[in-house]
Amino acid sequence: MEEKKVLHPFDQAVSLVRNSDTYTGRTSDLYENMVGPYGGALAAVLLNSVMIHPESLGDPLALTVNYAAPVKKGEFQIKSVPVRTNRSTQHWYISLSQDEATAVTATAVTAKRRKTWSSQEKNMPEVKHFSEVPPVSVKNLPVWFSQYDTRPVKGSIPPLFEIKGEQPFTSAHSTQWIRDNPARKIDFLSLTAFADSPAPSVYVRRNKFVPAGTVSFTVYFHATKEELGLSGENFVLVDVKSSRIHNSYCDQSGEVWSENNVLLASTSQVIYFKE
Amino acid sequence: MEEKKVLHPFDQAVSLVRNSDTYTGRTSDLYENMVGPYGGALAAVLLNSVMIHPESLGDPLALTVNYAAPVKKGEFQIKSVPVRTNRSTQHWYISLSQDEATAVTATAVTAKRRKTWSSQEKNMPEVKHFSEVPPVSVKNLPVWFSQYDTRPVKGSIPPLFEIKGEQPFTSAHSTQWIRDNPARKIDFLSLTAFADSPAPSVYVRRNKFVPAGTVSFTVYFHATKEELGLSGENFVLVDVKSSRIHNSYCDQSGEVWSENNVLLASTSQVIYFKE
C-alpha cells in the first residue's frame, strides 16, 4: 500500500509543475494577503523554480525579488533561466507572469561553498524565549497569518490593525519569533518566507496601517543545508530596522536567526506606501 | 566658439552609445580593479542604461547587480528592458554581455515619489570631519582608487594591502569618507559607485588580503534628485558592517550619508572569497 502523503500548506503554495521550458504554479488561498498572495510565499515559489530546475547547481546564496504588479488568484507561469553557470556559482533570472504579462521578476545566485575561515559578526538580539511570548491572535488579519505562529517581541504588526492612528512609536524596529503553523522543517524556501514576515517599517513606526507593499526584496542565505537541518521545526527570530522612510518609500533590513544563535539569513526590502 | 567640453573620467566610464535595442560601452582603464573594472563603476553604467533609456520613468529607487563573470577590457553590450511600467514605478531587467555571453545581470526599479509622512530612522555615525582625515595613499592600490579621494575613518582597505596576515581586527566595520577625484557633482550614478567602495568585509575583519569579489550588490536610493543636488561635490560617508563570514561567502551592509546627515542610500552585498 502506498503511504498517504498530505502536503503541508506551504509545500502546496510553492509547488510547481514543469512544462517544456516554464513551470506552472497556482496561488494558494491559504497564503492570501490583502492584495494577492503573501510576498514571502511568492518569493519562495520563485526560488523553488531555481532549486528544482534540472540544471541547478549548489544551494541558494542570494535572491532579489521585484514585485512589479499584483498577482491575481489562480495559475501563474514561472520561467527560471540559468543565465551563467560557473564552477561554483550559478546566476539566474526568473520571471513570473499571468496572461503573458510579467508580474514579478527576480535574480538568484546559487553556489557551492567550501570550508573557509568563518566568523559570525553579529550577535542575536537578547529577547524573551519564544515559549514566554504569546502568539498573536490572527483574528481580523489577512489569511496568511493563520499559516504562521507569530510571536512579536517588539514593534510588530497585529496591534496596528486594531490601534489605528495613535502616537507614532519612536522607532521602526520590529522583532518577532515565527514558525510555520502547522510546524514544518525549515528549508531555504520557508527561510525566504520568514524573512518577509515583519510588518512594513512604516506601519511599525507610525503605529498605523497605510496602504503599502514591498517593491524589491533581497535575501542573502548564510546557512548551509546542514545548519537548516539542525534548526528542525523550531521558531526563528526575525529582527528588522528601517533606515529611512521618505516620500512614498521606506526600507527595512535585518536578520533571521535560529533559536540557538546561528545567523541563517540577512534580508532587506524597499516598500511603497501611500500618504 | 564652442565651449570645450572635457568629460570627467567617471562620466566617460559610464558613457554608452545607443544602437537599435542595446547600448555599447567600453571599460575605462582608469577604473580597472584587480580583475576587470571596479564593480561600482560597472553597477553605475548598468544604471545609466536605464536612466538614459527613452522609456525611462522616474528616478532610481532600487538596483541589484549580479556579477556573473569577469568583464574583460574593451567593448561591452548592455540591454536594458522595461519589463513592466506602472503609473509610478517601472521594473527593469538589465544584462551586460561580451562576445554574446552574459557577464553581469541586474534588476532596477525606478519610481516617481510623492510628498508623504517621512522620517529618517538612522543617524549618521559620529566621526571625524573629512577635513581632519588624511586621504589614503593610492600607491600600490588598483588603479580605480586614483579616481577617488578616500579618507578611511575606521577599518578601511589600504593598509590591508601592506600589512598582510596580522592579527584579525575585532570587527568588519568599515567607515570612510569618499568623493570623486577630480571632484564631481554627486548623482545617482556616482552614489551607486560610492556604495560599493568599502573593502570586502573579509579583508577588514582578517586584516589580510584574500582573493575576493562581489557576487551580488544592492542599492536602495533614498535621496531625491534635489537632495543629491544639495550635496554638490562634497564628500559622502560610507559606513558598512558585516553580519556573517561563512564558508566562501561574506556579506556587508550599510549606508551612504551626505556630509550634512542626509541618508542618501542603503546598500548591501554578498562577496565570494577564497580560503
Q: At what angle do helices A39-51 and A188-195 cross, to 10 degrees?
A: 150
Q: Which residues contact A46 (CB under 8 A, 6 or more apart)?
A: A63, A65, A78, A80, A94, A96, A104, A106, A108
Q: Helix/strand/coil (H, E, C) string of chain B?
A: CCCCCCCCHHHHHCCCEECCCCEEEECCHHHECCCCECHHHHHHHHHHHHHCCCCCCCEEEEEEEEECCCCCCCEEEEEEEEEEECCCEEEEEEEEEECCEEEEEEEEEEECCCCCCCEECCCCCCCCCHHHCCCCCCCCCCHHHHHEEEEEEECCCHHHHCCCCCCCCCCCCEEEEEEECCCCCCCHHHHHHHHCCCCCHHHHHHCCCCCEEEEEEEEEECCCHHHHHHHCCCCEEEEEECCEEECCEEEEEEEEEECCCCEEEEEEEEEEECC
Contact across the interface for A121 and B205, Cβ inside 8 Å:
yes
Cβ-defined contact of B220 to A270 (cutoff 8 Å): yes
Whether A117 sits inside 8 A of B86 (CB atoms) is no
Supply the pLDDT for residue A156: 63
- Given A61, A86, A206, which is nearest B249 (Cβ)? A61
Using alpha carbons only, what angle is made at residue A56 by residues A189 and B109, rounded to the nearest 5 degrees? 65
pLDDT in tens, A81-102: 999 999 999 999 999 999 999 9
Partner-chain contact A105 B83, CB within 8 Å: yes
Residue of chain B with shortest Cα separation from A123: B243
Q: What are phi and psi of B2, to 5 degrees?
A: -75, 150
- pTM of the prediction? 0.96
Q: What is the pLDDT of residue A158?
A: 52
DSSP 8-state secondary structure symbol assigned to residue A83 = E
Mean pLDDT of chain A: 93
> Does pLDDT of A229 surpass 70?
yes
Chain B residues within an 8 Å CB radius of A263: 243-244
Answer whether residue A161 shows pLDDT above 90: no
A114 pLDDT tier (thresholds 50, 70, 90): very high
Distance CA A142, CA B143 (A): 54
For residue A261, give the DSSP letter. S
Q: Choose from B116, B239, B263 for mutation: most chain A CBs within 10 A.
A: B116
Estimate to the nearest angstrom the gap between the alpha carbon of B149 and the chain centroid. 15
For residue A108, give the chain B residue with the closest CA: B66
How confident is the prediction along chain B (275 residues), in pLDDT tens digits per residue? 556 678 999 999 999 999 988 999 999 999 999 889 999 999 999 999 999 999 999 999 999 999 999 999 999 999 999 999 999 999 999 999 999 999 999 999 999 999 999 999 999 999 999 999 999 888 888 999 999 999 999 876 655 455 454 566 778 999 999 999 999 999 999 999 999 999 999 988 888 888 999 999 999 999 999 999 999 999 999 999 999 999 999 999 999 999 999 999 999 999 999 98
User: According to the model, what pLDDT value does residue A163 have?
Assistant: 47
pLDDT the model gives residue A167: 60
Chain A residues near residue B263 by CB distance under 8 angstroms: 243-244
**pLDDT tens for each residue of B158-178:** 554 554 545 667 789 999 999
Tell me the percentage of chain B whose pLDDT exceeds 90: 83
- Is B118 in contact with A247 (Cβ distance < 8 A)? yes
pLDDT, tens digit (0-9, with 9 covering 90-100), for B115-169 = 999 999 999 999 999 999 999 888 888 999 999 999 999 876 655 455 454 566 7
Q: Looking at CA atoms only, how far is residue B96 from chain A in angstroms?
A: 11
What gap in Å lies between CA A122 and CA A7, rounded to an integer?
Answer: 36
Between B213 and A161, residue with greater pLDDT: B213
Complex-level ipTM: 0.95
Residue position matching grid coordinates 531587467: B93
**Residues B70, A221, B270: CA angle, nearest 5 degrees:** 35
Taking one residue from A and the other from B, the number of pairs with CB-CB distance under 8 angstroms is: 225
* CB nearest to A244's CB, from B84, B251, B263: B263
